């Protein structure tokens, strides 16, 4: 008992080099829907999804609609929030 699970722990060497070279660039899976924005809109990176109407208020039609929603990165969300003059300025 216990032998098999112990052996697994030793298989962690591969991938270390990869981690080093790409540590600067944070890769996400969800690109920001705003056309001239290169950030990631992943939830883990502060991304949000806005309704199409909300996005139109700020970016006109300069965004891509995905599944009826507009995924935006953290900074785009901040921009939208500022624009919409929501007085919920909590941080």
Residues that bind Zn ion (CB under 5 A): 32, 34, 37, 39, 73, 76
* Residue placing its CB nearer to Zn ion in the complex, 6 or 67: 67
Instruction: Report the SS3 class of residue 34.
Output: strand
* Residue placing its CB nearer to Zn ion in the complex, 22 or 35: 35
Residue 18 and residue 35 in contact, taking contact as beta carbons nearer than 8 Å: no
Minimum Å gap between C-beta 71 and Zn ion is 9
Dihedral over Cα of 88, 81, 54, 71: its sign: negative
Minimum Å gap between C-beta 46 and Zn ion is 10
Minimum Å gap between C-beta 40 and Zn ion is 8
Instruction: Report the SS3 class of residue 71.
Output: strand
* Residue placing its CB nearer to Zn ion in the complex, 55 or 76: 76
Residue 64 and residue 73 in contact, taking contact as beta carbons nearer than 8 Å: no
């Amino acid at each position: 008992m216990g032998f098999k699970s112990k052996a697994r722990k030793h298989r962690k060497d591969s991938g270390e080099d990869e981690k080093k070279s790409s540590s600067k660039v944070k890769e996400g899976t969800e690109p920001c829907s705003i056309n001239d924005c290169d950030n990631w809109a992943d939830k883990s990176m502060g991304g949000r999804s806005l309704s199409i109407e909300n996005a139109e208020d700020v970016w006109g039609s300069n965004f891509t609609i995905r599944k009826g929603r507009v995924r935006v990165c953290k900074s785009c969300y901040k921009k939208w929030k500022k624009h919409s003059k929501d007085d919920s300025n909590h941080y």
